[in-house]
Structure formats: C-alpha cells, structure tokens
Amino acid sequence: MTTDPLLMATTLATRRRVRQRDTWDRTRVLTFQSVALGRLLRHARTNSPYYREALRGAPDIPLTELPILTKPRLMEQWDRICTSEALRLAEVERRLAETELAATDPGHPWRGRWWLAATGGTTGRRAVFAWNRQEWTQVLASYARVNDWAGVSVGLRHPLRTAIVSSLNPTHQSAVVGASLRSQLVPALRLDARTPMADLVGELNRFGPRLLVAYASMVGPLAQAQLAGQLHIRPEKVVAASEVLTPDARAAAQAAWGESVVVDSYAATETASIASTCSQGGSHLCEDFVIVEPVNEDYCPVPIGVTADRVLVTVLFSRTLPLIRYELTDLIRLSRERCSCGLPFALLEAVEGRTEDTLSLPGRHGAVRVHPIVFHTALEALAPSGWQVEQQPNRLLVRLVAPAGDTELVRRRVQEALADLTIEAIAVEVVAVTALERTRLGKIQLVKALAA
C-alpha cells in the first residue's frame, strides 16, 4: 500500500519531466541551471530573514562571490534561514526525537506538510532538514534517476523488489525515502547494516531483490558471502551508497554478480542525489538539481582533475531551507572526459572521502596532511575484508578484519607510505579484529582523526 498516493503520482510525473532533460544538450542544461539559480536567489532573498541580509545585491553578484553557508552556521541561524514561519528548529528537533524513540512511520509528512530528516552527526553536530511536498517530490525524483541512469526498469508487471542495507533509524533520509516510496511498484526490504551477516544473508535470500542498495562498506562482505555460496541473490544492479567503495569491494561485487552490476551513488541528506553511474559506467553530476563547486581549503575553486578539499553545493530546488553555497566536507575530483552515453551532464571522477578523514601528522619540516588515499593504497590489498586507521596520541592504530597477510607487513607498509611524506616519528600499531565498529546509523569511518 502506498503511504501517500498523491506523492507517488506527482513523483512519477516529475520523474518523466526529469528524464526529458537527459536528451538536452550542454547549453540547455547550463541555461536551465542559471534560470533555476535566479529563482532560488529571489525566493531566498524575499522569504528568508537570513538571506535578505546575506544576499543583498545578489542579482549583480556571481554565485562564486556569494557568502558560504557552513553546517554550524546553518544550525545557528536555522530559524532565520527557514522561509516558513510555521517551522522552528526546536519543534523540528523535538519531532525528530519523537520519531526516533517511537519508530514513527517517516513516510507520513509531519503536520501533513513536511518531511523531516537529520544527518548522522559523525563529523560533529548533526544538521536537520525539512522539505515541503514540492521539494520532497524533487528529492524522490533525484533518487529515482539513479535507477533510470543505471537502466533498471519498474512497472506494474515488473515491480522493483528492492533490498536496502543501511540504517533503520527513521530520522535517516534513506528511511524517509523508502517509506515514502512504499508501494506495489517498489516492494522493499529494509535491513540494518549492523545486523549479523548470517541474518542479513537469510533475509536477502528469502526476499530475492532485483535491486540491492547498500552502504559501500557492506557491498564487499555481501559479495564475499555470495562468492562463498551462502548468499544466493541475482540483483540486476548493486547501488553502493553513503561511503567510499574500495577497489577490492568493487572487484568482489563484479565477481559475484557481473562486471556492470555496480552503481556508484553520491548523495547527501542536504542535497539528495549529487551524482550517479550511467549505463556506460560514467558518474554524472545531477547539475539540474545541484550546482557543485569543488574548492580548496581557502574556498578557492580547484581545477578539473584536481582533488578538492571540500565542495560547495547550491540546491536548486530548496525553498523551505534554502541551501546556497552550503559546505560539504567531501574530497571530490571532477573529470574532463566526455561519456559515450550521451548524457549532457559533467562527470565526477572520484569521491575520496571527507576532509575529516585527512590526518595531520608531524613531519620533518612541520605538520603534514595525510590524505585518506594514502591508507587506501597501503592497506586494501592486505586487508580486503576491511580496515580502519585511528589517530591516537603519539601513534596510529590500524585495525584489520581477517588480514590476508602478516600484521608486521602491514605495519611496515603503512610506515613506508608515511615516510614517503617525511613522517617518521609516529608509531604504528596493527591489530586484527573480527569486525569494525559501526556508527549509530551503521556506517564505518575508515580514517578517524584525533579527537579535539
């Protein structure tokens, strides 16, 4: 039974309009983006007390010169940024707390008007968001695009049986999306990523999904279970979400289910879908939903092909809580390549983690920033079942799940990688573990910086 038949109908109509944009040329995409940005700025300046001040003179100022909105700033100014007098942060927080405690169905809009969700708060204070019906339809359509670009069909005669291995927390956006789309078209099984693997395998075998959506850190273990003959599912696609998918996990999934099975979905609670994989394997930006600005530590634009220290996003459909040049601490890199699929949207080359995953360690000539890719390169071949690096006072603690080699070899490999960066004074301890600790939302933080 559909949670909200009207929502489903409007989402399907929006999805059809969004599909038409796939046939546009590049010029039309950029024109659409420019017009949508102008509408967003006018709406924010007219209806938000915060933006009435922040966007003074905005019609004559390029986007790249407008003020940046950080998460702490958003939460401090939430009531002034919000364009609806019917919403106040304290009430939204209270409702989210009630939803989490009572496991309320998040697919039903609060007060009949608002869909609510919160970030996990793993990088500091969590942020909370509210969407009206029109905005929520855009959120759902952006996620539906992931399936469209991957070539996954859905219809009354061909329902999309979808298994989602992530978080069951009803304040997590994936739970709100799943509950909103619940229908005969999309029969869904939601599983907690913290569930023991044997139980996950049993549930998935019984359900038999056509589409498997999972935290990236769950894709490898599930693929290994398939290769070991424990899991017996045949998904058309496997969508890796919310975390960085390691090369070893990707290779395992391809061995288990096919070379073209893996779909990379780059999304955030704040934006919904930012980029996703097309039929030819390219990861395209959803530029008709979100403007993406990769920048360095000083918020200056970085060239295409260079990894950014963070990314500024402008959500073109945001109206209740306008997000203009909102900071995400993601390390991303754009591509100059053109994809053979014909989509008019720019390509994302890589998502390499978060700024918080970058460690600062003492080197011969001062502090050295250690990008998470250093640990990915050093550890993945030796710990295909999982790894984690935690910075502690005067040492790095490396946890390995069922390591493929000698832990002393791993220690030397990490020390050699650090020595190449002039870091020699830090001790490295390697321990074998049976599993890595997951957050309350079921995610794994691969690189944990020293707590402030």
Is the pLDDT at 452 greater than 60? The verdict is no
Beta partners for residue 218, in sequence order: none
pLDDT at 312 over 60: yes
8 Å CB contact between 233 and 209: yes
pLDDT digits (tens, 9 = 90+) for 350-377: 988 776 667 888 887 777 778 777 777 7
Average pLDDT of the chain? 89
pLDDT digits (tens, 9 = 90+) for 234-290: 999 999 988 888 888 899 999 999 988 999 999 999 999 999 999 899 999 999 999
In angstroms, rounded to a whole number, what is the distance separating the alpha carbons of residues 95 and 86? 14
Residue 4 CA, distance from chain mean position:
25
Per-residue confidence band for 75, with pLDDT thresholds at 50, 70 and 90: very high
Least confident of 119-123, 340-344, 359-363: 119-123
Q: Any idea what the Cα angle at residue 135 is, between residues 64 and 113, rounded to 5°?
A: 135
- Comparing 59 with 338, which gets the higher pLDDT? 338
| Spatial distance between the Cα atoms of 298 and 300, rounded to a whole number of angstroms | 6
Place of tokens 């409007």: 10
What is the torsional sign of CA 176, 317, 303, 25? Answer: positive
Q: For residue 233, report the phi and psi dihedrals to the nearest 5 degrees.
A: -120, 160
- pLDDT for 356: 63
Cα 150 from Cα 89, distance rounded (Å): 37
3-state secondary structure 320-334: CCCCCCEEECEEEEE
Distance separating alpha carbons of residues 281 and 263, to the nearest angstrom? 8
pLDDT by residue (tens digit) across 425-443? 788 888 888 888 877 767 7
pLDDT tens track for 56-66: 876 678 999 99
Dihedral over alpha carbons 50, 54, 59, 65 (to 10 degrees): -140
If pLDDT is split at 50, 70 and 90, which confidence band does 385 have?
confident
Interatomic CA distance for residues 190 and 180, integer angstroms: 13
Neighbours of 301 (CB within 10 A): 13
Q: Is 406 left (phi over 0), alpha (psi -120 to 50) or beta?
A: beta
Q: Mean of the pLDDT values across residues 110-128?
A: 82
Over range 61-73, report the average pLDDT: 93
Q: Which domains does the chain have, with CATH numbers?
A: 5-354 (3.40.50.12780), 358-448 (3.30.300)
**pLDDT of res. 124:** 55
Burial of 48 (0-12, 13-18, 19+ CB in 10 A): buried
- In contact, 316 and 33? CB cutoff 8 Å: yes
| Averaged pLDDT for residues 192-211 | 94
Q: How many residues does the chain have?
A: 452
* The pLDDT of residue 232: 97
State the pLDDT at residue 1.
43
Average pLDDT in the 159-174 region? Answer: 89
- Beta-bridge mates of residue 348: 334
In this prediction, residue 163 carries a pLDDT of 94
> What tokens were used for 171?
């304040």
CA atoms of 271 and 319, how far apart (whole Å): 12
Name residue 110's beta-bridge partners. Answer: 114
In the chain, pLDDT over 90 holds for what percent of residues? 55
- Give the separation between CA 290 and CA 90, rounded to whole angstroms: 28
Q: Which of 188-197, 205-214, 379-388 shows the highest mean pLDDT?
A: 205-214
Q: Which pLDDT value is given to residue 306?
A: 94
Q: What is the pLDDT of residues 90-114, one digit of tens each?
A: 999 999 999 888 766 778 899 999 9
Residue with tokens 């291995």: 165
3-state secondary structure 258-272: CCCCEEEEEEECCCE
How many angstroms separate the CA atoms of 122 and 248, rounded? 25
Written as six digits, the tokens of 315 are 């959500």
User: Can you give the pLDDT at residue 404?
Assistant: 64
Position 84 scores a pLDDT of 96
* Rounded Cα–Cα distance for residues 177 and 414 (Å): 40
